[in-house]
Amino acid sequence: MKTPSSYLYDLVHTLTKSEKRYIKVQAGSDDKDYIQLMNALLAQKTFNEEELIKNNKEAKFVKHLSSTKKYLYNFILKSLMNFGEKEPEDKVLEKIAAAKILFNKKLKEQALKELQQAEKIAKKYEFLDLLFQIISLKKNFMEIHNTKILEKLYKENVECLAKKQNLNEYWHLDHQLGLFHYHFYSIKTQEHRQIVLKIMEAPELQNIALAMTYESKLFFYKIHGRYQVILNNFEQARKLYEQTLHLSEANTYFLLRDIPGYLASVWELLMIYEYLDKIDAFEGTLQRIKAIPEQREFNLNKNTKKYAYVKALFFDFYFRSMVFYLLRQDSKTKYKRILSLIPEIEEGLKEYGNILIEIHQNVLRFYIAVAYFQNKLYAQALDWNIKMLHDFNDNNTMARLIYDSKTLNLLIHYELGNFTLLESLLPSTSKYLKSKRPLFATEKALFRFLNKSMKAENENERKDLIHKFNIELNELPLKDSERKFFTTAELLCWIENRG
């Protein structure tokens, strides 16, 4: 039996209040079958078609559920296309559609005027695919009665194709180097060196003047910046990434068009600042990034979904970066600093929870749980860690995050004195981790400690076990992958905080 798709449910639960209101206005009445279906889906916390049918037996939509679902899905998409402010790309598409209508009505002059307006916008914002479509339509619409018109159209076509090819080359080079960086980080073998040199010897990377579009220029600087990181030339990498950000921020439209790409470059720069110990530059950049959505030149209407989307992305990036940065510091006050950020994080998660991807929300939840734990606020730590574990499934959460969260769960229950629960949690957690990957040395040591500590007869015996555990942790020969693991850094801090 085919499993019912959750596509409609997922779409319905992304709608804002204003979008839902607009959709109902477009429908004309709340009595419509598909609007009743939308309300029923909104009432569900998780998608369950059997429950949907069971709880709405008398509703008309149940009789034709499959066709009503399909109609509602298309109706929502069509309504959203007409909702809110038009993007430049939407305006170009509307002009192209209008030109086709006018041409079919034999109004060629008016059709060409619409195309002329569309072309102006497409060139300004480098909509190369749309520009190519406009040029193709001009070929069909215009009467080519002399060589001048012929050569003009031919040249426009050649230039557009050249820019598209140029951008594609830079995109390809960027992703080639990005994949190498992701898998190997730096050059470790002669084969690695040959792979990287082959990429960097591409003609397009020899001179910025060869980058034919704004986006190609961004790729040029970003590729060279990443190359310097791979070579461990961090000072040179800093300069190149700063050039990348300067170029991005010089054109607000292009920045808003690819916020994830922009923030990825910011992240690379932040990591470089940390390596170079440029703390003021790190924190200053983060504060500047946090304020970007409110800047006048972005001209964002605060009542639109786009504003909420932009705010959500920058909120998410700022707090994940700041907490991650604080956790990597040696300062004993870092956890108190993280605690001071929690009210803002909580407010942001409530406001942008339907926009942010789940893994990013869970990263923030885990960081908050760690901060509460290290500040000895164990009940709050448990509450936030449970939120993370509750939302977990193997498809949408990073494996390492759930492993860390399960380890933290053991420590929280240990501090809360829930030893009876811990007796069952300890073997089940160990079994779960073993099913995913070999246990780390720190995990094995932790599980041994917890097992012995639960059987200890008094607090003095437990203190002695903690002291021995601390010595064992400090003497463990750790692999690089394990040094980044939660238990390696946080266990020692927990032991130190216990005094």
Q: CA 139 to CA 172: how far, in whole Å?
A: 31
In-domain check, residue 499: yes
pLDDT classification of 404: cutoffs 50, 70, 90: confident
Q: CA 321 to CA 318: how far, in whole Å?
A: 5
In-domain check, residue 371: yes
Tokens 């090819």 belong to: 165
Read off the pLDDT of residues 51-85 as tens digits, 9 standing for 90 and up.
888 888 888 888 888 899 999 999 998 888 777 66
Average pLDDT over the chain, rounded to an integer: 87
In-domain check, residue 436: yes
Task: Give the end of a domain, one of 57, 81, 105.
Answer: 81
| Cα separations in angstroms, 112 against 38, 71, 163, 208, 261 | 42, 36, 23, 35, 36
Q: What is the CATH number of the domain that holds 404?
A: 1.25.40
Same domain? For 377 and 422 the reply is yes
Residue among 133, 140, 108, 107 at smallest CA distance from 118: 133
Report the residue count for the chain.
499
What are the backbone angles phi and psi of residue 29, rounded to the nearest 5°? Answer: -165, 145
In-domain check, residue 417: yes
Same domain? For 38 and 101 the reply is no
Report residue 312 CA to chain centroid gap: 10
Both tokens of 456, joined, read 């200890």
In-domain check, residue 339: no
Q: CA 339 to CA 323: how far, in whole Å?
A: 10
pLDDT classification of 291: cutoffs 50, 70, 90: confident
Same domain? For 50 and 134 the reply is no
Angle, nearest 10°, between helix axes 108-124 and 88-104? 160
Model confidence, pTM: 0.75
Can you tell me whether residue 126 is helix, strand or coil? coil
In-domain check, residue 162: no
Neighbours of 93 (CB within 10 A): 17
Same domain? For 393 and 462 the reply is yes
Q: Are 430 and 408 in contact (CB under 8 A)?
A: no
What are the backbone angles phi and psi of residue 5, rounded to the nearest 5°? Answer: -75, 145
Same domain? For 26 and 128 the reply is no
Q: Are 184 and 192 in contact (CB under 8 A)?
A: yes
| Cα separations in angstroms, 9 against 34, 85, 417 | 13, 25, 41
Query: What pLDDT sits at residue 396?
Result: 45
Same domain? For 131 and 61 the reply is no
**Contacting residues for 250 by C-beta, under 8 A, at least 6 apart:** none
CA angle 255, 258, 260 (to 5 degrees): 110
Read off the pLDDT of residues 455-474 as tens digits, 9 standing for 90 and up.
888 888 888 998 898 888 88
Neighbours of 363 (CB within 10 A): 20
Q: Higher confidence at residue 186 or residue 83? A: 186
Q: CA 386 to CA 366: how far, in whole Å?
A: 9
pLDDT classification of 179: cutoffs 50, 70, 90: very high
Same domain? For 77 and 93 the reply is no
Q: CA 127 to CA 92: how far, in whole Å?
A: 9
Q: Are 180 and 199 in contact (CB under 8 A)?
A: yes
DSSP 329: S
Same domain? For 405 and 477 the reply is yes
In-domain check, residue 179: no
Q: CA 96 to CA 112: how far, in whole Å?
A: 10
Question: How many structural domains are present in the chain?
Answer: 3
Residue among 425, 464, 467 at smallest CA distance from 447: 425
| Cα separations in angstroms, 63 against 32, 49, 120, 457 | 14, 13, 51, 65
DSSP string, 76-107: HHHHHHTSSPPPHHHHHHHHHHHHHHHHHTT-
Task: Give the end of a domain, one of 101, 119, 143.
Answer: 143
Query: What pLDDT sits at residue 395?
Result: 47
**Contacting residues for 202 by C-beta, under 8 A, at least 6 apart:** 169, 173
Read off the pLDDT of residues 362-397 as tens digits, 9 standing for 90 and up.
888 888 998 999 999 999 999 999 887 776 555 444
Average pLDDT over residues 34-43: 91
Same domain? For 374 and 443 the reply is yes
Q: CA 392 to CA 401: how far, in whole Å?
A: 10
Both tokens of 382, joined, read 């448990």
Same domain? For 123 and 29 the reply is no
Read off the pLDDT of residues 213-267 as tens digits, 9 standing for 90 and up.
999 999 999 999 999 999 999 999 999 999 999 999 888 888 888 888 899 999 9
In-domain check, residue 329: no
* Whether residue 2 has pLDDT greater than 70: no
Q: Which domain holds residue 473?
A: 357-499
Q: Give the amino acid at 246.
A: H
Same domain? For 381 and 498 the reply is yes
186-190, 388-392, 449-453: least confident range: 388-392
Task: Give the end of a domain, one of 143, 172, 187.
Answer: 143
Query: What pLDDT sits at residue 128?
Result: 95
Same domain? For 429 and 364 the reply is yes
